[in-house]
Structure formats: structure tokens, C-alpha cells
Chains A and B, each alone.
Chain A
Amino acid sequence: MEARARAHGPPGEPRRIGYLFVLPAFLVYAVFALYPLLKAVYLSLFEWDGLTVGTWAGLSNYREVLTDERLRASFTHALVLMLFFAVVPLFVGLLLAAILHRATVRGLGFFRTVVFLPQVVAMVVIAVAWRRIYAPDGSINAVLRSIGLESWTRGWLGEYAFALPAVGLIGTWFESGLVTVLLLAGMGRISRDLYEAARLDGAGAVREFFAVTLPSVRGEIAVALTLTVIAALKTFDLIYMTTSGGPGHTTTVPSYEVYRQAFELGQVGLACTIGVCLTVIIFAISFVITRVGDRGAD
């Protein structure tokens, strides 16, 4: 029994002192993260303005999330943003990485440094930059004017039909580099023998991609989707800084509604409900993606 436990379990011996080492980290985590999360679940069952005494509301806040037009729209917008933050970057990344993977090119290190750069810049800064690009006198409109498409120019973030795709495109820009770098690393680990074999079978570039490259980077695809889908749900900074959910409520998202309901409208219970839903969705999505990724790897 002892021998089996040793062969399987974590390295090291049974030691009570372990509790002492874990305690400080766990204490801070429990007080400032775990307890607030449980408190959010508790508060989500109340109608509370943050000042007076709250009243028990049961599940009515959850009903409101499902029925309120604006709140429902916020979740739909998050879904649309997932397309821009996760799906489009995945295709861009697969295409770019597959092309770059086929031949050794010089300057790949520099390329990696540059395309990964957006990931380390504060979202507030990114928002300030893109607000300018989308502005009526910004660079997109300048390009349109220079090629004679004056009639196409507009304030991209201010129009009902264009605001959400415009915000989404920032996400595509933000995530494409990350996904490409991740997939390039994964493709770099594929054995050259597999390609030799495919070539001997007479496979062309396209078949080679579907037969060898794509199955080999399944794990990386799962990681990329987890990272980008979660990023698409945590877009508070971006929305707060670019559109504040407008025009109308065309660009509002759950993470922005949490802030707005709690600190602008005094609907603390409802804000906590949205936060709890957001947490559940994030957990569920990363669970499903890792499960599917694991199954593919076996």
C-alpha cells in the first residue's frame, strides 16, 4: 500500500508541515477571492441597492437575466464577440502558421516578438489607439477617402450596425498573434518523418495540412480556444473605454453590465447574478473545451 502510494502520488513524504506552507496563500485567496465569490452567489438572491436593507428575491434576479431585453442582448453580444476573438483568430492563425511552418524563413523570432506584442499592452491603451483609428477623422476613413469611397466613411464606433463588429475586430487583432505563435510552436514539434511519409504517399500541401498538421496541433487548438473564448467574455476594459455599451445597448456585454448595474444603477443583487452567470459560463466552456481537446489527443 505504502509502495503503491509512493509510485503514484506526488513526490515526497506525508508531512503535516504542508498545511503550514499552504496556509498563508490559502488564507489570502480564501478571504479575497473565494469568500467574495460565495458572497456573490448569496447576494444574487437579494434585491439590494447597496445602501438600505436588502430584500429576499429568490431566483427573480436570474429570471430577469433571462428575460430582460438588454441583459439578454449582452449575452448575445458576448457570443458574437467569441466569433471575433476566438473563431476568426483560429482560422487566421492556422493559415498563417501552416504557411510559415512549411519553410524556414529568416526573421521568425522578430515576427513572433511583434505579433505577440498586443498581449502585453494594457487594454486601456489599446482602446485609446483603436478609438482613434475608428474616429471620423481616423485612419480607416482616411484610407476610404483616398480610394474614393467617401460615402463609406463614418464614425465606426458610433453607429448601430457597425459598433459591435468594430469592437470585435479589435479582438481579432488582439488575439490573432497569440493564436499564431501558439500554433507555430505546436507545429514545430511535429516530427519531420510524418511529412516525409505523407510526401511519399503523394500528398500535396493541402492534404498534408489536413492529414498531418491539423491532427497534430489539436491540443494547441484547444488551448487557443480556451484562452480566446474566455478573453471574449472578459471584455470590460475594452467596452468601458470604447463604447460604454452604446450606441443604444448594441455593444453591451455581461462584464460591462456587472459594473453598470452595481455602480451606476444600484442594482447590486442583479449585478452579482450576472457575475455568477458569467463565472458559470467560463467554467463550463473551459471544461468542455479541455474535455474535447483531451479526447482528441487520445
Chain B
Amino acid sequence: MRVSGSERTMNYVILVAFAVFAIYPILSIVIAGLQPDAEAHGGLGNLQQAWEIGRFGSYLRTSLLVSTFVVAVSTVLSVLAGFAFGTMRFRGADAIFYLMLVGIMMPAEAIVVPLFFDLRAIGLTDTFWAIALPQVAQSVAFGTFWLRAAFRSSSRSLIEAARLDGASTGRILWQVLVPLARPAIVTLVVLTFMWTWNEFLIPLVMIPTNEALRTAPLGLGFFSGQYTQGYALLAAGATIVALPVVIVYLFLQRHFIAGMLEGAVKD
């Protein structure tokens, strides 16, 4: 569309102003994390200091283990379930699917309380499973919904041709359909990774005492409550916690944006 030069200039002003507004809090924490103060020497050394004083090394390791497990297990389970819902007909399929859809909107706040007391009763609180399995359950609800749509849109004649060639159901899934659905699967993987990495309430409740199992956001939460000597190391710790997801985002941003926006649209 043709617009005047002054309108174009105004567009750039708005663009820059809004971008600055959006980036300022994030940038300010990165910069604060590099400043020297009473405890910190400044520069990248702050990250290392926070790593040691705040024990972020241990938190990051837990987060990495939990995220890897949740992403891997929930993706495989979602592929299987999405394949069945998307390409097969069986009695009750719709009912089961809608039941799983409930899980997409179900807030963690509602299930975390009963889960804690049930898991405590069988001695599972303060374990890896108490953080990971509830998140697999939530991710699988979205993943099944997401991949059902992806597999539904895959061509049926392709499946039939493969079957005529004598391919087994498993072969059709893993060697024909999964490669075709790769973009949808990558989107699911990055979203699940982000949600799991950033999750706060579930680890907070499920890990009441075991410090070795604190995830990165949880560790930051405790660190910000206990460490009051200055802001530089807290900001450095916050930078460390945010960095992994931000790096993945910078490389795969299309998947993040498309997934978060389309994921909310029902098919």
C-alpha cells in the first residue's frame, strides 16, 4: 500500500519505541548481571560466580534432565496417540480425544495439590518422577491434539499406497508419516522444552526439601529469596536460567511463534 513519507517515518518510530519497551526489562537484567558490586567482580566472571555461589550448575543439570525426559517421552507418546486419532477409526475415539483435550486447558494449580498428597503417600515426592511425570501428562495432552491435526492432514492415498506395498503399520508411521510431519514435530519439541524448562509451580510443590533436584527457575526463586547481598549475581543467575530457551528461540523462532499462536486455535 502506498502511504506518505511522514507516515512511514512514524511507522519506524513506533516500531523502535515498542521494540525498546519489549526488550528493556530483559536487556536490563543481562546488563545488571555483568556489573560489579560488593560481591561480584563484574563482567562474564559474574556468571561463573553465580554458577558457584547460587549452585546454578546443579539446577541447570536437573532442568536439562527433566526437560530431556519430558520432551522425549511425551513426543513419542504423542506421535503414537496422534497417529491413531488422526488416521484410524475406533469406537470411542472422539470421546477419548475430547477427554484429553481437557488437559490442554487444565491449570496446574488445580491438580498439583491432590498430586502432592497422593505422591507423598507413596513416597514419590522429592524425586525426579514427581517433577517429570505430571509434566509428561500435560505435554501429552497438547501433543496428541497437535499431532492428530498434523497426521489428519497427511494424505490418505499415501497411507494406502504404502499399505499396498506391504508396509506394516509401524513402518507407515515411522518411515512415511513422521518424516512428513517433521515441522509439526519440531514445533512440539521446542514448545514442550520451553514449557518444561520454565515450569515453576510443579517443581516448587513436588520438591519440598531435596535441594539437588531443584530446577533452574526454582533455584532462582530460592536464590532471590536468600541472597540479598547485591543484585549483580542475582541478575547473572537469572540470565543463566533464561539463556537456554532464548538461544533455542533465536534459532527456531518460527516454530515458537507458529506453535504458540496456532496451538490455541482448534482445528
Contacts and interface: CB of A to CB of B under 8 A. Distances in A.
Interface of A: 5, 9-22, 24-26, 28-29, 31-34, 36-37, 39-40, 43, 50, 96, 99-100, 102-105, 107-108, 110-126, 128-130, 132-133, 139, 173, 176-178, 180-182, 185, 192, 195, 219, 223, 226-227, 230, 233-234, 236-237, 240-241, 254-255, 258-259, 262-263, 268, 271-272, 274-276, 278-279, 282-283, 286, 290
A18 B88 contact: yes
Given A18-B89, A24-B80, A263-B205, A33 B103 contact: yes
Contact of B107 (A34, A139, A279): A279
B99 interface: yes
Contacts of B143: 25
Interface in B221-255: 221, 224, 231, 234-235, 238-239, 241-242, 245-246, 249-250, 253
B113 A262 contact: yes
A178 B260 contact: yes
B137 interface: yes
A120 B194 contact: yes
Contacts of B138: 33
A28 B78 CA distance: 11
B130 to A, nearest CB: 10
A117 B246 contact: yes
Contacts of B28: 129, 132-133, 139
B175 to A, nearest CB: 16
A118 B156 CA distance: 40
A12 B159 contact: yes
A241 B221 contact: yes
Nearest to A31: B137
Interface in B54-77: 73, 77
B174 interface: no
B89 A259 contact: no
Contacts, number: 305
A12 to B, nearest CB: 4
A121 B1 contact: no
Most buried by B among A118, A122, A286: A122
B140 A120 contact: no
Contact of B80 (A25, A223, A258): A25
Classify chain B's interface size: 35 or more
B93 A18 contact: yes
Contacts of A128: 29, 220, 224, 234-235, 238
A236 B136 contact: no
B38 interface: no
B109 A29 contact: no
Interface of B: 1, 3, 7-8, 10-12, 14-15, 18-19, 21-23, 25-26, 28-29, 32, 73, 77-78, 80-81, 83-90, 93, 96, 99-100, 102-103, 105-118, 133-134, 136-138, 140-141, 143-144, 152, 156, 159, 169, 194, 197-198, 200-201, 204-205, 216-217, 220-221, 224, 231, 234-235, 238-239, 241-242, 245-246, 249-250, 253, 256-257, 260-261, 264-266
Contacts of B8: 103, 105
Given A25-B81, A29-B140, A112-B257, A124 B113 contact: no
A32 B105 contact: no
Contact of B137 (A32, A123, A275): A32
Contacts of A185: 261
B97 to A, nearest CB: 9
Nearest to B239: A125
A209 to B, nearest CB: 13
Contact of B136 (A16, A32, A121, A178): A32
A121 B246 contact: yes
A122 B109 contact: no
A19 B90 contact: yes
Given A36-B111, A50-B117, A11 B260 contact: no
A250 to B, nearest CB: 20
B90 A226 contact: no
A249 to B, nearest CB: 17
A16 B13 CA distance: 60
A275 B113 CA distance: 9
Contact of B109 (A26, A39, A255): A255
Contact of A237 (B110, B113, B200): B200
B140 A28 contact: yes
B96 A102 contact: no
Contact of A21 (B11, B84, B242, B246): B84
B207 to A, nearest CB: 12
Contacts of A112: 257
A69 B158 CA distance: 61
